Chains A and B, each alone.
Chain A
Amino acid sequence: MNTFKIGGVHPEPNKLTADRKIETLALPVQAVFPLSQHIGAPAVPCVQKGDTVRVGTRIAEPGGFMSASIHSSVSGKVAKIDSVIDASGVRKPAIFIDVEGDEWEPSIDRSDKLVLQSNKSREEIVECIKNAGIVGMGGACFPTHVKLCPPKECTIDTLIINAVECEPYLTADHRLMLEHSDEIIIGIKIILKVLGIDHAVIGIEANKPDAITLMRSKTSMVSGIEVMPLQMKYPQGGEKQLIEAVTGRQVPPPPALPANVGCVVQNVGTVFAVYEAVMKNKPLIERIVTVTGQDVKNPCNLKVRMGTPVSQLIEYAGGMPENTGKLISGGPMMGRPLLDDTAPVVKGTSGILMIPEADAIRRAERNCIRCAKCVQACPMGLEPYLLATASEASDWECAEENWIMSCIECGCCQSTCPSRRPLLDWVRLAKNRVGGIIRARNAKK
């Protein structure tokens, strides 16, 4: 079985919710939509306080080329445009909507019927995806319409569907494949049409045999779509790791893109959203969220309207266990700790994880013993100990020379460190600073 060559770790999978069907969560009382839920410029509100909106009404327009629009996931009145502490732990501007009833935009097809064919052209499909505000659902939230328009000089030959879900605990993509496989296949066909190619590979890790079997049986009649089981290893869901695992090609360091090696990678969640946008005219207003944790009473996979407060999800899962030490949005490896449970579900919320205090606590750090475990674990072939030391000494030049911008922040280094050094924290800091320096330098030119 294929996998990427260097680095990687094997955390406990802990997929507690793999056999829990997707349940639909009730509407919230008030939905909150932060204006920056994606990479790039924040969206600009196009509604005002007191406006009446329906499910699917656009409430914010893209703030630039690299941006995405935001739609209301509920019907009701705009209560205020204020700020909210979102999953990144920073106060950001947001639109608050008081929910009244559940009235949908009439243009949205709400039936469960599978729509197989559409006569939209390539440009129309991209426009449709853009208008639906679709972003990468794996967590990075990169606007999908930008990804589907690769630079002209690159020839794309392979579409890779990321169904790896290598993060422990999370099962949202797994359940989506089991319950909406037909929609996903149609979604893949739509994206293939946009890219003008006829070869797609669905990468699934071997710990999901039921999904592999199902997708294989669904794709057996479809030419050009192939299912590739992959050996279990974190961070296989990383774009560059997945490309290497599937095609054996290595993406050069930034600013090179996956398109430079002829690949476009899309998450299965994104593919499903593309299907709904193109075939059902439904913007991105819902997503699947895994609510889980070792001591959670009723861990589950929920279909949640965007903007629902996290507290409502936790309540559905049986409340927050008393011994919870950390509340995380996303997976345990790359997720971010939430400050409290008032944060709203946004486009990138793949999971809500409640970690018991005993596991959450970071013990005191010790000195680096030069064991180089972090170097072995780094899937990008970097030297995390060196980058962290450079960051600690504010030596941004050294960090840049040692390819810090290639870091994908997967956290393998930190999880293997026997001295429990906060390597990723330091690397993130340096990456942020070096990124700023590079941007300033480019702006000068």
Chain B
Amino acid sequence: MKLISFGGKTAEAAELLQPHWLADVSKSLGDGYFLPVGMGKSYGDVALVSGARAVSSLGLNRMINWDAATGILECEAGVLLSDIQSTFVKQGWMLPVTPGTSYVTVGGAVANDVHGKDHHFAGTFGDHVLSLNLVRSDGEVLSCSPRKNSEMFRATIGGLGLTGFILTVRLQLRAVAGPYFDSEVIPYGNLSEFFALSEETEAQGWQASVSWFDCSTGKAGRGSFTRGNASLRKYDGEAEPKGLGLSVPITPPFSLVNKLTLDVFNAAYYELQRSGAGRREVHYREFYYPLDGVGNWNRIYGPQGFYQYQSVVPMAHAAEATEEMLSVIKKSGQGSFLAVLKTFGDRKPAGLLSFARAGVTLALDFPNRGEKTEQLFKELDKIVFEAGGTLNPSKDARMSREIFQAGFPRVEEFAKFRDPRIVSDFARRVID
């Protein structure tokens, strides 16, 4: 059974099972090696497993308990974030933290301890998990929370699925008036303006912020800064926007993001952002998930797929490291179209292997051009490594063991909580 990651990396799993009921999960784990998987939206190989069984959570998509007074939801691990948002926003509740796509499972969001535009305000997904049930390969079901089996709880949050199969999760949602955001888009001309805006945004207490920047070879450094707060306007019965309804129907024979198109894309997008500058009210789907409106957008990178390179560098070296990375990218001639820059707040990580940490994070998408791309990554690695930063496992398909081990020093402690029968291509590559 071929598994394909979001970035286009593949693995031949021995088989794919999809238990439909919680009671059936334990026997689906078999007696060999396996990996729990979900929507397969991780870019690299954390959700890939070669030669062993993949056990999907997608059949486990039931909500179990909902308390409309406190906003506490208990659900099975295969429930999608999109379902949670659309169900509860009508009742005045939303996820406090969400990544840039809503088409991921709750189990996957916990296992990758995902972050989003709200990090400086609300932390990561794991910060809002009250408890979870985990089944280990020996059949034991562990109920974990900050009070009970607390070490296993911390290991499972951001644990990349390696501590057991997450069965159910209890989440705290955040009270909102309705589905709207008051957003503000501010164009900026260079990186120091970005850092100034980030600081101001955090100081002013904005709930969410993110920034796109132009990473084409010509004008690298300019960009647009988006920030927002949940609007006080109530839900008025309006249907969810249908989105753009666009979809990339087939994989083109070559990457549509290439030298010829990149500068044009970036310049056009910059102008689009500039023309949309200022304050306006937007629906949460547009604010959080602009790319969910375009189905299979990852196909534009062609059959070779693409890499996302997401680094985090501590604040002390943030400005110079980012400048340096940009100049290396410029020199390489391999620009990125989706270049995202965001500062993380200074918060205690929710899990042992959580990626999000104080500093500035840079996420870049590059078409896979083989050795040339890897060469660029090695240069970027050096800058990140020297600045004391690391890379995001959920996005990664190629980082070295050295970079991983340095960036995630608690991996030794984590080993105690590993399930002995769970493997992933990522774990084999940088942990085992």
Q: Do A and B share a complex? A: no
Interface residues, chain A, with chain B CB atoms under 8 Å away:
none
Interface residues, chain B, with chain A CB atoms under 8 Å away:
none
